[in-house]
């Protein structure tokens, strides 16, 4: 039989990842381990996250608002006077101030989640992680949300990497704005409104992603 101190240590050590129950049956100690449902730390299933997104979209439609992240780029530029240089930024940006709170919430929420509510790892297929290492020299697959090979301080000391990030940010940010929305604006807001342009945009997102990963990325790196 296990000493009582061993049971206490075992429960304390494993309770962070599992629910452990140690009980005695005759002359034997049986350790029963049941995986703990850490709903804060683990990804939510589609049947939970999906209805929650739908609920948010219903509330936005009810109050006459549209959700989108890239729209804040246009709002921010208009707020600092970009309308003097381009008609694209001439609009009542104050009416869109509420959407800036989405960005603020994403920053604060991301900081809290990254530092206090996550181990900053993502589970991906081991074969995909191996392919990332073999084909793209990204050895952190499954270990980090943002590959340090691209986003670390050391990587940012390379002028080529900075140029790639700046050009990519310009194409994605302002390109999404000129297209009328990003993945959240089209795939979530637009499709929920049954907008045909949003469906076309989402299909374009997938095609563009495939072209980038399989054709352009190997040429760049």
What is the model's pLDDT at position 87?
85
Q: Looking at the structure, do residues 96 and 77 belong to the same domain, yes or no?
A: yes
Q: Looking at the structure, do residues 89 and 51 belong to the same domain, yes or no?
A: yes
∠ CA 105-108-113, rounded to 5°: 110
Q: Looking at the structure, do residues 14 and 69 belong to the same domain, yes or no?
A: no
Domain membership flag for residue 149: no
Q: pLDDT tens for the chain, 221 residues: list them.
A: 444 444 444 444 444 444 444 444 444 444 444 444 466 777 788 898 889 988 988 888 888 877 777 788 888 888 888 888 888 888 888 887 877 888 888 889 888 887 777 666 777 888 888 888 887 788 887 777 778 887 888 878 888 888 988 998 888 887 887 788 888 888 888 888 888 989 999 999 899 989 988 888 888 87
Range of the domain at 179: 158-221
What is the model's pLDDT at position 210?
92
Q: Looking at the structure, do residues 167 and 110 belong to the same domain, yes or no?
A: no
Domain membership flag for residue 112: yes
Domain membership flag for residue 148: no
Q: Looking at the structure, do residues 52 and 83 belong to the same domain, yes or no?
A: yes
Domain membership flag for residue 202: yes
Domain membership flag for residue 79: yes
- The model carries a pTM of 0.63
Q: Looking at the structure, do residues 51 and 113 belong to the same domain, yes or no?
A: yes
Distance CA 126, CA 49 (A): 25
Q: Alpha helices, DSSP H only, in 85-185?
A: 97-116, 126-136, 148-151, 153-156, 159-178
Q: Looking at the structure, do residues 17 and 55 belong to the same domain, yes or no?
A: no
Q: Looking at the structure, do residues 28 and 49 belong to the same domain, yes or no?
A: no
Q: Looking at the structure, do residues 52 and 98 belong to the same domain, yes or no?
A: yes
* Residues near 215 by beta carbon (within 8 Å), at least 6 away in sequence: none
Domain membership flag for residue 216: yes
Q: Looking at the structure, do residues 29 and 46 belong to the same domain, yes or no?
A: no
Instruction: Report the domain count for the chain.
Output: 3
Distance CA 109, CA 115 (A): 10
Domain membership flag for residue 19: yes
What's the chain's length in residues?
A: 221
Domain membership flag for residue 138: no
Last residue of a domain, one of 118, 136, 166: 118
Distance CA 57, CA 52 (A): 9
Q: Looking at the structure, do residues 25 and 45 belong to the same domain, yes or no?
A: no
Q: Looking at the structure, do residues 17 and 49 belong to the same domain, yes or no?
A: no
């Amino acid at each position: 039989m296990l000493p009582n101190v061993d049971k206490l240590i075992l429960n304390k050590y494993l309770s962070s990842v599992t629910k452990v129950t140690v009980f005695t049956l005759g002359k034997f100690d049986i350790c029963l381990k049941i995986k703990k449902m850490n709903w804060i730390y683990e990804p939510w299933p589609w049947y939970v996250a999906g209805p929650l997104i739908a609920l948010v979209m219903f509330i936005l439609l009810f109050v006459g608002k549209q959700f989108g992240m890239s729209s804040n780029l246009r709002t921010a530029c208009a707020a600092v006077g970009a309308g003097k240089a381009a008609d694209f930024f001439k609009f009542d940006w104050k009416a869109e101030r509420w959407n800036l709170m989405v960005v603020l919430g994403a920053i604060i929420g991301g900081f809290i989640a990254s530092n206090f509510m996550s181990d900053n790892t993502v589970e991906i297929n081991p074969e995909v992680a191996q392919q990332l290492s073999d084909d793209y020299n990204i050895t952190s697959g499954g270990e980090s949300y943002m590959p340090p090979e691209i986003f670390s301080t050391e990587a940012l000391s390379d002028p080529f990497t900075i140029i790639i990030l700046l050009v990519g940010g310009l194409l994605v940010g302002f390109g999404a704005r000129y297209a009328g929305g990003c993945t959240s604006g089209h795939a979530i807001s637009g499709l929920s409104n049954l907008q045909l342009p949003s469906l076309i945009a989402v299909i374009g997102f997938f095609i563009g992603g495939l072209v980038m990963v399989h054709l352009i990325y190997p040429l760049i790196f």
